[in-house]
Amino acid sequence: MAEKFDAIVVGAGPSGNAAAYTLARGGLKVLQIERGEYPGSKNVQGAILYADALERIIPDFREDAPLERHVIEQRMWMLDDSSYIGTHYRSADFDQPPYNRYTIIRAEFDKWFARKVRQAGALLITETTVRDLLLDGERVIGVQTDREGGAIYADVVVLADGVNSLLARKAGFRPELNPADVALAVKEIHFLPTETIEARFNLSGDAGVVIEMFGKITQGMMGTGFLYTNKESLTIGVGCMLSDFKSQKMTPSQLLENMKSHPSIAPLIAGGEMKEYAAHLIPEGGYNAVPKIAGEGWVIVGDSGMFVNAVHREGSNLAMTSGRLAAETLLELAQARLPYTARNLARYRRKLDESFVMKDLKKYRRLPSVFHRNPQFFTAYPELLSQAAQTLLRVDGEDKKSKERAIRRSFVARRSRFGLLGDAFKMWRAFE
Amino acid sequence: MHIVVCIKQVPDSAQIRVHPVTNTIMRQGVPAIVNPYDLFALEEALRLKDRHGGRVTVLTMGPPQAEDALRKCLTFGADEAILVTDRAFAGADTLATSYALAAAIRNIDRDAAVDLVFTGKQTIDGDTAQVGPGIAKRLDLQLLTYVSRVEQVDIAQRRLRVQRRAEGGVQVLETRLPCLITMLEGTNEMRFASMDNMFRAARCAVRIWDREAAGISDVSKIGLKGSPTVVSKVFAPQARARRAELIEAEGDAPRDLALTLINKLFTRNPKLRDAIVAQPS
């Protein structure tokens, strides 16, 4: 006799774990199915953990979660071929508990999160792939897994199966991924002794530094790079839109190799031993790419719903929040003895709209297309700014006024007066 | 038939790194897996169960997280899992480990007589291949090592026949039950668990035995105290700078081969030639 559950959660990443945990705590009989050998074995992220989103699910997570370093310094670098120009923000306030952001190693973190889910009462089955959704007409009534006796039934299915979301696509809930809506990111973890990391980044204890980068490291493609400090390792990576990789015939690994040899980056990672290499798709289509996220007996959470704020490099917090809000919706309906119809589940979308998830995505809804059509933001401006800084800082007998004139001329020569105005307007529109 | 399979949770040795500074083994972030040879042992045991009925108990000694490895074995169809875990077992070498496991098996045997014990031929982290034979000796079991296949079991006659890999060929051996078998990587492919087994494994309680529950009273025989092995030094082997070279010779005649070699030696080391030529004949 096939088993029946109140809810089946497909996937054990941040959104699936948030949903399964909340549902199980709410007293539902929950089955969570994960394709990987263990939760975290297939999951890839930079990775920064945003405490707030997790705190709303597990308030005392800091007691036993595997956290690497709390972030006390954020650097934003704009790079040309030989320099970077940017800002560093370091604050002792960020060094006061409770900390706001942490670097994490996802394989460890996800294992911990999954343990919490199991302790909350959900049943977790790993190494099992959900092949199809079981349908009764329009209504989802369960899942078909790849194992013998693999049909399992539930009142509702939470699709937390990640950026590709084969299930949602197969069931026709979501269109095929558009290469202009997803970034392909690669990252490496380099082992370095704690003392070396502390010395290189001026750190002590569990404090950490985050560097976000953009500019010529992506060679005109729309994307960003990053470098995070962990306890005993550095994470370095770069991601660009899939469509750009395709049109530029560039491989992500080549891009990362070039980035690692940049004179501003190479000394930071020197002497490290590569421990891990990973690549993953990131849904960066933004607000306009968000699919339908609820229907008859199903909801979509996390990457599968395109909940990533590419501008602020936030994703896991949106994922956790969407998982929690979906679960809270399901619990409310269960309590009111209302069925999981598309109409009732529309509450989930409303909750998301009222949260930072949709508000932020909406704010930056024009940004992907602006940056995509204007590669000068990744090539010309970093170069111009770097040259400007160099012109001003190099002491060579030239008077400052002439230097300023030269800088102005270089901007106009490269972008024209009209172009500069247009670019300013585009930037304002993108970030408005 | 009651079969006990001894397994060990090991770090995936393909992913272990040596700390570049301290030269110690870095286990952080290295996934833990079931020792691969133990999985072949489990599969062989499950096949015997499929043919002859009975039950399969998986047993391990290790830290609390070794429960994951046992649960994995349950998904394949093992009926019961026992984790022997106690701080007193820490630092055990193969002698102390076989003592503790033998005590646990004696305990299991009291509940339901054990006919067969399986282990992998060795673990991939220790590579000693001593624990299986150690258990057999302590429990006075027949011992068959390096078995690639169990051909036949005659439960009525309490006899069994196996194929054992030996130097230069395969031995076909017969012995009586109860017996302990250490398994090689056999020809058996590991089964893909059914959904029912996945559910059963996820829900099944692993039995946890501490020292007393495992029936061990003599603490001098277990853990660090019961382990005569001393690790005096751990080091990472240095990569050799010198490379092997394939020398091609013209012709097969011993004379040609010798000449090619001598010429090679002389081109590499001209001083050697001078030294030999300078010697009075």
Q: Is there a single domain that holds both residue A132 and residue A279?
A: no
Dihedral of the CA atoms A103, A107, A113, A116 (nearest 10)?
Answer: -130
In a domain, A243, yes or no: yes
Query: Mean pLDDT of all residues in chain A?
Result: 93
Same domain, A328 and A387: no
Confirm or reject contact between B235 and chain A (CB < 8 A). Answer: no
Last residue of a domain, one of A283, A315, A341: A283
Characterise B201 by phi-psi region: left (phi > 0), alpha (psi -120 to 50), beta (else): alpha
Complex ipTM value:
0.81
Interface of A with B (CB under 8 A): 3, 37-38, 41, 105, 107-108, 123-125, 127-128, 145, 147-150, 152, 191, 193, 232, 273, 275-276
User: What residue in A sits closest to B193 (Cα-Cα)?
Assistant: A147
The tokens describing A314, both together, are 């936030």
A144: domain CATH number is: 3.50.50.60
**What is the rounded average pLDDT of the residues A354-369?**
92
| Closest CB from B20, B195, B202 relative to A145 | B195
Domains in chain B: ranges and CATH = 2-221 (3.40.50.620), 242-281 (no CATH)
Share above pLDDT 70 across residues of chain B, in percent, rounded to a whole number: 95
CA distance A353 to B133: 65
Domain span at residue A23 reads: 4-68+104-178+286-354
Query: Which of B68, B195, B203 comes nearest A150 by C-beta?
Result: B195
Say how many Å lie between the first and final Cα of chain B, rounded: 78
Q: Is the CB of B29 less than 8 angstroms away from the CB of A148? A: no
Does A318 map to a domain? yes
Portion of chain B with pLDDT greater than 90, in percent: 65
Q: How far does Cα A198 stand from its chain's mean position?
A: 26
Q: Do B195 and A275 touch (CB under 8 A)?
A: no
- Other Cβ atoms less than 10 A from the Cβ of A343: the count is 12
Name which residue leads in pLDDT, A274 or A116: A116
Residue of B nearest to A129 (CA): B195
pLDDT digits (tens, 9 = 90+) for B37-66: 999 999 999 999 999 999 999 999 999 999
pLDDT (0 to 100) of residue B22: 67
Q: Is residue A148 part of a domain?
A: yes
* Residue at which a domain ends, from A243, A264, A283: A283
What are A61-119's pLDDT values in tens digits? 999 999 999 999 999 999 999 999 999 999 999 999 999 999 999 989 999 999 999 99
**One domain for residues A157 and A302:** yes
Q: Do A123 and B202 touch (CB under 8 A)?
A: yes
State the number of CA atoms in the 13 A half-sphere of B274 facing the CB.
4
Give tens-digit pLDDT for B162-215: 999 988 899 999 999 999 999 998 778 889 999 999 999 999 889 999 999 999
Residue where one domain finishes, among candidates A283, A300, A327 = A283
Query: Do residues A120 and A52 both lie within one domain?
Result: yes
Residue A83 maps to a domain: no
CATH number, domain with residue A211: 3.30.9.90
pLDDT in tens, A401-427: 999 999 999 999 999 988 899 998 888
| pLDDT tens digits, B147-166 | 999 999 999 999 999 999 98
Query: Is A93 among the domain residues?
Result: no
Q: Do A157 and A238 sit in the same domain of this protein?
A: no
B77-106: per-residue pLDDT in tens? 999 999 999 999 998 999 999 999 999 999
Residues A258, A279 within the same domain: yes
- Judge: B31–A37 Cβ closer than 8 Å, yes or no: yes
Residues A419 and A344 in one domain: no
Nearest residue in B to A194, CA atom: B21
Same domain, A122 and A197: no
CB pairs under 8 A between A and B: 46
Interval A217-264: pLDDT, tens: 998 898 999 999 999 999 999 999 999 999 988 899 999 999 999 999
Kindly list the residues from chain A whose CB atom is less than 8 angstroms away from the CB atom of residue B31: 37-38, 41, 107
Whether residue A57 lies inside any domain: the answer is: yes
Q: Are residues A260 and A374 in the same domain?
A: no
Mutate to test the interface with B, among A147, A152, A197, A234 (most CBs of B within 10 A): A147
**Which chain B residue has its CA at the smallest distance from A151's CA?**
B195
Shared-domain flag, residues A335 and A239? no
Same domain, A33 and A168: yes
Q: How many domains does chain A have?
A: 3
| A75 found inside a domain | no
Same domain flag for A157 and A298: yes
**What is the rounded distance in angstroms from the CA atom of residue A300 to the CA atom of residue A169?**
11
Give domain status of residue A79, yes or no: no
